[in-house]
Amino acid sequence: MTRNFQVPSGCRLIAHETVGSTSEEAKRLAETGATDGTVVWALEQTAGRGRHGRQWSSPKGNLYLSAVFRPKCRIAEAPQLGFVVGVAMASAIRALSDIPAELKWPNDLLVSGKKVSGILLDSSDDGAGGVAWVIAGVGVNVEVHPEDIDGADSLRAFGATFSVEELLEAFLSRLFDLIGVWSRDGFEPIRICWQELALATGTLVSVKLPGQLIGGTFEGIDPSGNLLLRHNDEVLHVAAGDVFPVSAATNTSTGAL
């Protein structure tokens, strides 16, 4: 079903025409001993999962994959992998096209403010504070996007001419290089690359926290991967929330939801 393409050393690629969810399949494999670097790829999913229990629309034409990693880090550091994956995908898209893909904290990829890709992390600890496995699931709207979701779009709509396979190949090569950098040199080089590919600092955003909406400016991420949000005269370190870029006209201050 696939043309021959270069898979990086350390990567074992398992290709499917259709699966329920590549992340569920990768989790099943991880729990039965799949090695670090196993990647499950499917042309379509029938039960794609997004963050916060949402569905991920997964018709043919887009990229759906989930990678199994077994990093030697503390479980609290596992979310750093989401930034590694984001950098690999944004730079793959930029290398294959003129599309200025931008990362949005924590795990989204936008083009002109429209979401074209999302990353879903699942992890399991080893019972001693370390990681048994992390599954990094990535969906990219290459050809199509759900029409009923406001704010979503596809790379094709922005002029992409590359195929799903070309994107997969470019992504995997960057991903495995960056995993090497992260394992060897830690999070700092990844943090710097992520910020270079992210929304500009100073961008006006709203951040949805449990029960609260805070307006401010995006100021990057801290050495733990927390969002840096300037709100009034303070810089807040936000560990979890949803970020929405806003125009100056609609910028909010703070309010209850």
User: Of 59 and 189, which has the nearer Cβ to ligand BTN?
Assistant: 59
**Contacts of ligand BTN in 85-114 (CB under 6 A):** 108
Give phi and psi for 73, each to the nearest 5. Answer: -135, 175
Only segment of 8-16, 45-53, 188-196, 217-225 that touches ligand BTN (CB under 6 A): 45-53
Do the Cβ atoms of 80 and 182 come closer than 8 Å? yes
Residue of 29, 64, 116, 160 interacting with ligand BTN (CB under 6 A): 64
Q: Is 123 in the site for ligand BTN (CB under 6 A)?
A: no
The binder of ligand BTN chosen from 51, 70, 114, 156 (CB under 6 A): 51
Q: Taking contact as CB under 6 A, which single stretch among the options 18-26, 95-103, 205-213, 229-237 is the one that binds ligand BTN?
A: 18-26
Sign of CA dihedral 96, 98, 103, 107: negative
Q: What is the DSSP letter of 190?
A: H
| x/- map, 152-171, ligand BTN, by CB under 6 A | --------------------
Whole-number Å distance between alpha carbons of 52 and 48: 13
141 sits near ligand BTN (criterion: CB under 6 A): no
Q: How far apart are the first and last CA of the chain?
A: 48
Q: Can you spell out the DSSP letters for 54-118?
A: -B----TTSEEEEEEE--SSBGGGTTHHHHHHHHHHHHHHHHHSS---EEETTTEEEETTEEEEE
Give the interface with ligand BTN as residue ranges (CB under 6 A): 21-23, 45, 48-51, 54, 56, 64-66, 108, 118-120, 137-139
